[in-house]
Chains A and B, each alone.
Chain A
């Protein structure tokens, strides 16, 4: 049961910038808990893309960036590339420190 809401899909042409929103509530994102983002390529396990709202693990291109404000967070992909076509999920925690995932967003490169 996802309690973080994401748009089902976003699309953009190569080179463009796309953003994915992740909307929560005062019991999760709004409570100050970190938001993390994962990229899931078709048929593979999710991969950590952004942690702690805006930090990139080693090896993740700086085309990916994250931000958080209030009860929402966003993932931005600048300079969109064909290899970025994947599903993206946000994740946070609720007031009982149980994890919650977003509904997921499919990114299509036109």
Chain B
């Protein structure tokens, strides 16, 4: 059974750096093809793809946010960490992590999602 759970601060101040942790179970990030991604959703708005890290440390970032994002993995702890620098009120959103696996395609879906964590950016 695959589960993922996001954790981190619920409130950050403008200009601060946000660090979110995705702790998962039911799979290993050392297994060929497996990946974990981050997606966010501002209140009342659409989903936004942020970043993705694969088992072999291949990393992908949203072009519009690439300069502010870093994604890393700790295979031994079953965790993926996303950092986002220079936070702004427009970054207020629910942040989700999700599981993916390249099988028959190099562009796989997110098949398991965490419950999400709401991060508010305000002074």
Write the residues of chain A forming the contact surface with B, with a CB cutoff of 8 angstroms: 1-2, 33-34, 36, 38, 40, 45-48, 51-52, 57, 89, 91-93, 96-104
Contacts and interface: CB of A to CB of B under 8 A. Distances in A.
B104 A52 contact: yes
A48 B96 contact: no
B49 A47 contact: no
Given A2-B48, A48-B109, A89-B46, 11 more contacts: A1-B64, A38-B110, A46-B39, A51-B108, A97-B106, A98-B52, A98-B61, A99-B49, A101-B48, A101-B49, A102-B46
27 contacts: A33-B107, A34-B107, A36-B110, A38-B110, A40-B47, A45-B115, A45-B116, A46-B96, A48-B111, A51-B109, A51-B111, A52-B104, A57-B111, A89-B47, A91-B47, A91-B49, A91-B110, A92-B107, A96-B60, A97-B60, A97-B107, A99-B37, A99-B60, A100-B49, A101-B46, A101-B47, A104-B46
Interface string B86-123: 00000000001000000011111111011110000000
Contacts of A89: 46-47
B48 A91 contact: no
Contacts of B105: 34, 52
Given A34-B105, A98-B62, A48 B46 contact: no
Most central of B96, B104, B105, B115 by chain A CB within 10 Å: B105
Contact of A2 (B46, B96, B113, B115): B46
